[in-house]
Amino acid sequence: MAQKKNRVKVLIIILIFIVYFFTAARPVHKETVLSFRWIKSLAASPQASYLQEENKSAENNSGVLSDTLLPFTLGSRFGYVDAQGQFAINRAKINDIYLSPNMWTEYPAEPANIVINNIIDDTKINIENTRGYPILLDNRIFILGSEQNSLSQISENGNVLWTYEFGAPLTCMDAASDLVVTGSLDGAVEVFNGKGERVYYFEPGGSRYSVILGCAVSKNGSHIGIVCGVEQQRFLLFERFGSAGGEYKVIYHESVGDGFRRPVHILFADNDRRVVFERVGGLGCYTIKSRRGIFIPLEGNVAAVDGSGNQGVFFLITSHPAEEKRFTGIQFPREGVFGFLGNAEADLVFLRASFKSDNVFLGRRNSTLVTGGGTALISFSLEEK
């Protein structure tokens, strides 16, 4: 009888151990670290392109290089740099600059014509009698009218494809998947297809001032995020339903306080899995799959963001008094079957570094991170260890 009781006790202990092992055990996740790659002085580096002349004659060369070169603007200089720290373009700014991954333009305060160049520094398009300002998005060329209340798309030969007149000046714009999303001073959100036809219109309202302060569209065009209004300010996420160019509906909205009275950063990150947006006191982050929003507290004002957030990691630079800047790394919360796993929202910041500079740059291409201040760029690679 005593032996039978002992066996029962042993079985109970084994059962408790098994239950504890499967319920309490957690996988050990690799940590994301930054490995130093190079540092370059913009003033000391040669201004001439490192590209060979024979490569310049290749018809598709700029398209290939746009996947490897990162555009940068830092202080009085601009250009394109690759993952090894070699410059395709590195020169001083004379006028305003607009850079995209595969083309760029420099233009005066009141341009009579605009020259669009590719990243191998060849003239691509010469647009005459523009009466507006260039916007280069989604491998497309747009002209914002001088009064900021009209938008035109320009073809590859410099002709106007379409023009749309708005009821108020535009305050933000984004483009992807052959769509254009705009927000205006009167609080209207409008979506256009590739032909310039308006396919959606929405006025969020609900605030004392109904201005649209930021807008973004996902790479596949399925979601749109906006930050709108002052007193109260709100974040709204739209999801497309019906046809590819069809209607959108609001699937999430959140009040974020009285809010800013200026344009705010908003973007789709981590391969469109999340929307990250600037809000008073930090960042908002909404995960589309789990339909959950979190608040990540931060000090200072957002000066630059990496624009990617891939690999579940997001970087930004904040600005503080006395020209102090802070480089910050954020680990997005991991998702499990029953929701988020890991640390509390305030503990998602895994990296902080302070430096002093009156101007900053932050860019990212895949696992290569490039940041800078003053007249120098520094590069790191993202690794898991």
pLDDT tens digits, one per residue of 198-211: 999 999 988 899 99
User: 258 falls in which pLDDT band (50, 70, 90)?
Assistant: confident
State the residue for tokens 């009167």.
Answer: 186
* Per-residue pLDDT at 52: 44
**Euclidean distance between CA atoms 214 and 205, whole angstroms:** 15
Count of beta carbons in the 10 Å neighbourhood of residue 314: 26
Instruction: Tell me if 259 is assigned to some domain.
Output: no
Whether residue 378 sits in one domain with residue 321: yes
Has residue 62 got a pLDDT over 70?
no
pLDDT, greater one: 6 or 78: 78
3-state helix, strand, coil in the chain (%, to 5): 10, 50, 40
Q: What is the dihedral of CA 311, 225, 317, 285, to 10 degrees?
A: -60
Structure tokens at 159: 């002709």
Q: Which of 252, 240, 255, 180 is nearest to 216 (CA)?
A: 180
Say whether both 110 and 146 belong to one domain. Answer: yes
Question: Do 357 and 307 belong to one domain?
Answer: yes
Residue 205 lies in a domain: no
pLDDT over 80 at 245, yes or no: no
pLDDT band at 38 (very low <50, low <70, confident <90, very high): very high
**Do the domain assignments include residue 238?**
no
pTM for the model? 0.85
Q: Is 347 within a domain?
A: yes
Q: Tell whether 358 is covered by a domain.
A: yes
Last residue of a domain, one of 115, 135, 165: 165
Summarised one tens digit per residue, pLDDT across range 147-158 is 999 999 999 889
User: How many domains does the chain fold into?
Assistant: 2
φ and ψ at residue 254, rounded to 5 degrees = -150, 135
Asked if residue 365 is part of any domain, the answer here is yes
**Which residue among 165, 190, 207 closes a domain?**
165
Please indicate, yes or no, if residue 80 is contained in any of the structural domains: yes
Single residue among 165, 191, 211 that ends a domain in this structure: 165
Give the least confident one: 27-31, 82-86, 210-214, 288-292: 27-31
Structural domain range at position 354: 29-93+302-385
Contact between 364 and 315 (Cβ < 8 Å): yes
pLDDT higher than threshold 50 for residue 127: yes
pLDDT at 8 over 80: no
CATH of the domain at 150: 2.40.10.480
pLDDT at 381 over 80: yes
Whether 62 and 122 map to the same domain: the answer is: no
**Residue with more model confidence, 28 or 359:** 359
Q: Residue 383 — pLDDT band, cuts 50, 70, 90?
A: confident
pLDDT at 337: 38
